[in-house]
Amino acid sequence: MNLPSKVKIVDVGPRDGLQNEKAQVPAAVKIELVHRLQDAGLTEIEVTSFVSPKWVPQMADAAEVMAGITRKPGVRYSVLTPNMKGFEAAVLCKPDEIVVFAAASEAFSQRNINCSIEESIERFRPVTEAALSQGIRVRGAISCAVGCPYEGEVAPERVEMVARLLKGIGVQHMGVADTIGVGTPLKVQRAMEATLRHYDINDVSGHFHDTYGQALGNTLICLEMGIWNYDTSSAGLGGCPYAKGATGNVATEDVVYMLQGMGIDTGIDLDKLIDAGKFISDYLERKPNSRAATALLNKRTG
């Protein structure tokens, strides 16, 4: 097995994890979560999203959150920018990286943003050009890379096409996202192989949802391919909008526990990470959606 000796994790909890929460989470709580994550050793944090407050009210305080963070040297702070208006607002907050995304499913693209995949990517061209000209890194994501709530299974050829088009507009790093968590290891492997036709192995990451309990298995097969970048969410924050009551993002704690058990370095302090997840879970008045965190918290009080 070609296992990496280290893994880099992007914690997307503050953005992807919180964006679907119905009750508004105050900026101060989001800022505290970011601070706790960086104190736990996270060096990549997806902080917020510069989207229309009309569509995502939870992210209306994006500028306030970015302004309130005490930045730590060596930590990369990224923000989602779905269009030029979002980028222009984001750039005032000096993000280290912006994130753009396109679906590998034509139906998903049409239903969500009323345009084709190719049109959606063309819309990002001025955004990526503006970011790169200002020295801001550009990360991309391919959503619905293995399955779509409208189309069902998504062919690797669609993933390959999206990776090629995003590479063509200057996107530097590509995340392969199983948005609804239906992926299983071989399907994920094929989606990754399709992406690797256009991106170096160091510039590809996995973003897995645990809706059907497959996220750790999907992570493991990618580790065996030598992929060492992953998106995860503290306390498993983030529901899946297409499967009622289902879990969303894989919990950072579960991935770190698995990696530590495999002798793979993450640079993350698991106890501090669990504390960060407990902090936000306590605020949301629920238990952390992480098996590892639950087990280790029980051990503390046992």
pLDDT in tens, 239-275: 666 555 557 899 999 999 999 999 999 999 999 999 9
* DSSP symbol at 6: B
| Residues contacting 282, CB < 8 A, separation 6+ | none
What is the pLDDT, as a whole number, of residue 36?
98
Question: Do the beta carbons of residue 121 and residue 102 sit within 8 Å?
Answer: yes
Its sign, for the CA torsion 35, 14, 246, 220, is negative
Q: Provide the whole-model pTM.
A: 0.96
Residue-wise pLDDT for 110-124, tens only, equals 988 889 999 999 999
Rounded Cα gap, residues 291 and 115, in angstroms: 39
The C-alpha angle 106, 107, 113, rounded to 5 degrees, equals 85
Instruction: Give the residue-averaged pLDDT of 139-157.
Output: 96
- Where helices occur in the chain by DSSP H, the ranges are 27-39, 62-68, 84-91, 106-113, 117-133, 156-168, 185-195, 215-225, 252-261, 270-283, 291-301
Tokens 């918290």, located at residue: 297
Catalytic residues: 240
What is the pLDDT, as a whole number, of residue 20?
86
Rounded Cα gap, residues 124 and 170, in angstroms: 10
Whether 198 shows a pLDDT value over 70: the answer reads yes
User: In which band, very low, low, confident or very high, does the pLDDT at 136 lie, cut at 50, 70 and 90?
Assistant: very high
Measuring CA to CA, how many Å separate 274 from each of 85, 114, 234, 236, 253? 36, 40, 8, 11, 7
The one-letter code for the residue type at 193 is: E
Average model confidence (pLDDT) across the chain: 95
